[in-house]
Amino acid sequence: AGVTEDDIKNDQSITSQIVTNGMGRHLQRYSPLDTLNKDNVKNLVPAWAFSLGGEKQRGQETQPLIYDGVMYITGSYSRVYAIDVKTGAELWQYDARLPEGILPCCDVINRGGAIYGDKFYFGTLDARIVALDLKTGDVVWRKKIADYKAGYSYTAAPLIVDGKVVVGNSGGEFGIVGMVYAYDAENGDLVWTRPMIEGHMGTLNGEESTMTGTLNATWPGDMWKTGGGATWLGGSYDADTNTLVFGAGNPAPWNSHLRGAGTPAEGNTGDNLYAASRVGIDPQTGDIKWHFQTTPREGWDYDGVNEVVPYTDKSGNKRYATADRNGFFYVLNREDGAFVSATPFVKDISWASGIDETGRPIFVEENRPGNPAASADGKKGEVIFASPSFLGGKNWMPMAFSQNTGNFYVPSNEWGMDIWNEPITYKKGAAYLGAGFTIKPNYDDHIGSLKAIDPDTGEVKWEYKNDAPLWGGVMTTAGGLVFTGTPEGEFIAFDDETGEKLWSFQTGSGIVGQPVTWEQDGEQYVSIVSGWGGAVPLWGGEVAKKVNYLNQGGLVWTFKLPKQ
């Protein structure tokens, strides 16, 4: 009993529950509900609020799940809460006891769980996957994904496909190896693994399966052994082609000259596959079906992890869309991941002048951080200015697709950086960057920019500018609404066609969470978790003045229309 594969498959259309990250495994974050719409959203009021408590309130990036009258959320520091959706009262709480010495790069966040059968699944900052009893919060099983002392951690929502819990890993800043893992949902047995860096072997049922790529085809020497490519944002699943799609982060170290990627090479031998790529994976075996590398010869920390959303375009073609950290919005073919188009979704991209007809960037070589080995003292390579910044034209915060308009709604940021390279050698559990950087806003009056993008043309239909960088997820509805939140604390509903702000509510702390909506006893509810944090306050450089006054927090806000 409990949540079935059919419930998960139909999560987008079953409006009384939300059992997957992305409100459906396509991650469209689109609800067919229209009870709440452009005409009445102005009347939306809070139904209840719930505090996550705790002494240390840090970034709350979670997406709530809703099942059988209960809301399940994860919180900072690997906590889980079950809340009665009618009253907002707590039913149970699970607090993972974390060891000293965990090494998350970018705040102690968690982006949510998954429900299957009678269990709730989520990952912890010490790189474990935990299955909890839905009713009691008791641990059913708990498995180590990888060694936190080597820099591995876990922050993404798991993905359930066919009785398997599919997860990635974090740790790209520590020279880990990005990997996708599939566990048996019932007992936590490892079914298969798929490394993202060429030369590493996958496993299936406890035995070696196939090698990822070809050893030393695109990596020099032993660099592949600590090659990065963390799968830290999880994945999507395309039921039409039975394909898992995971992204791989930056190759390690950041200093591209150490990876043979610094200079254009014959046969693209310095591409460093499959870092900074999207990879299509067979969910049964873990074998790679296709790959598309957004940033070959990566040198700016343009992780390739951003979500890949299966959708149908305005002419009826089945496509994938992804808005990469490198500033380009890509459309790929659903069958084989083949390149269809790429258009800039932020202004001022300086590392590439465009994307050619094969999908390969046209590099601006002088905007690659310089080689320290070529400098006078061998200690610091030439400092260059590159845009977007390493936090990306878009970071982890998920975009949404609207079946109402056929457009994507992309939370983006307009910023660049000064960046330089330094020498570095790998040491277990130590930062493995070989780079220094300072982020700079590109405009005085805004960094954040929510954009409505027509995926067929790349045209920006409307834009909403925000002073601070946008760091929260987006949701669309059949009622013609686009929801998102800002670091300044505002939770906003926009008109999906015009971008007009139709409603907003001040939540009291910065929003870096992901909105959801569902229906309960004939009423439509909307929820968002508020609680400022994530990478921006840690790494934001000159962006600090736009965010250093913001208060931390940790509240679930749930809204509905007043009873008639």
Residue from 466, 460, 498, 467 nearest 482 by CA: 498
Would you count residue 179 as binding ligand PQQ (CB under 6 A)? Answer: no
Binding ligand PQQ (rule: CB under 6 A), the pick from 3, 41, 85, 109 is: 109
Size of the site for ligand PQQ (CB under 6 A): 19
Q: How far is CA 298 from CA 215, 295, 331, 431, in A?
A: 19, 5, 20, 18
User: CB-wise, 339 or 539, nearer to ligand PQQ?
Assistant: 539
Question: Helices (DSSP H) in 57-194: which residue ranges?
Answer: none
Position 540 contacts ligand PQQ (CB under 6 A): no
Q: Residue 486 in contact with residue 472, Cβ under 8 Å? A: yes
Q: Which run of H or of E encompasses 230? A: none
Residue 181 engages ligand PQQ in binding (rule: CB under 6 A) = no
Quote the Cα angle for 115-532-554, to 5°. Answer: 55
CA distance 361 to 61: 31
- 232 binding ligand PQQ? (CB under 6 A): yes
The label of the residue with tokens 């496993």 reads 203
The answer to whether residue 466 forms part of the interface with ligand PQQ (CB under 6 A) is: no
- Site pattern 132..171 for ligand PQQ (x: CB under 6 A): -----------------------x--------------xx
Q: Please say which residue, 241 or 255, places its beta carbon nearer to ligand PQQ.
A: 255
Interface with ligand PQQ, residue 11, by CB under 6 A? no
Catalytic choice (126, 238, 271, 301): 301
Among 33, 106, 468, 482, the residue binding ligand PQQ under the rule CB under 6 A is 106
User: Which of 172, 195, 434, 480 is in the footprint of ligand PQQ by CB under 6 A?
Assistant: 172
197 binds ligand PQQ (CB under 6 A): no
Work out how close the CB of 405 gets to ligand PQQ at its nearest, in angstroms, rounded to a whole number: 28
78 touches ligand PQQ (CB under 6 A): no
Q: Which of residues 468-497 bind ligand PQQ (CB under 6 A)?
A: none
Rounded to the nearest 5 percent, the helix, strand and coil shares of the chain are 5, 40, 55
Length of the chain: 564
Asked if 450 and 377 touch (Cβ cutoff 8 Å), the reply is no
Give strand pairing partners of 115: 120
Write the single-letter amino acid at 544: A
Binding string, residues 375-414; x marks residues near ligand PQQ by CB under 6 A: ----------------x---xx------------------
Q: C-beta of 382: minimal distance to ligand PQQ in Å?
A: 23
Query: Strand runs (DSSP E) across 114-238, as ranges?
Result: 114-116, 119-124, 128-133, 139-144, 159-161, 164-167, 179-184, 190-195, 201-204, 207-211, 235-238
Q: Among residues 396 and 437, whose Cβ is nearest to ligand PQQ?
A: 396
**Nearest distance in Å: CB 31, ligand PQQ:** 24
Is 61 a residue that touches ligand PQQ (CB under 6 A)?
yes
Distance CA 154, CA 122 (A): 9
CB-CB neighbours of 455 under 10 Å = 24
Q: How far is the CB of 281 from ligand PQQ (least distance, A)?
A: 18
d(CA 231, CA 208): 20
Helix (H, G, I), strand (E, B) or coil at 429: coil
Contact map string, positions 291 to 330, toward ligand PQQ, x by CB under 6 A? ------------x---------------------------
Residue 447 Cβ, how far from ligand PQQ at the closest point, in Å?
14
Residue 105 binds ligand PQQ, judged by CB under 6 A: yes
CA distance 78 to 402: 31
Minimal distance, residue 33 CB to ligand PQQ, in Å:
28
In whole angstroms, the minimum distance from the beta carbon of 49 to ligand PQQ comes to: 23
Q: Which is nearer to ligand PQQ, 173 or 488 (CB)?
A: 173
Best CA proximity match to 391, nearest among 334, 344, 324: 324
Cis before 274? omega within 30: yes
Considering the complex, state which of residue 8 and residue 275 has its C-beta at the smaller distance from ligand PQQ. 275
Amino acid making up residue 181: Y
Does residue 496 have an active-site annotation?
no
Q: Which residues belong to the active site?
A: 301
Residues at the interface with ligand PQQ (CB under 6 A): 61, 105-107, 109, 155, 170-173, 230, 232, 249, 303, 391, 395-396, 534-535
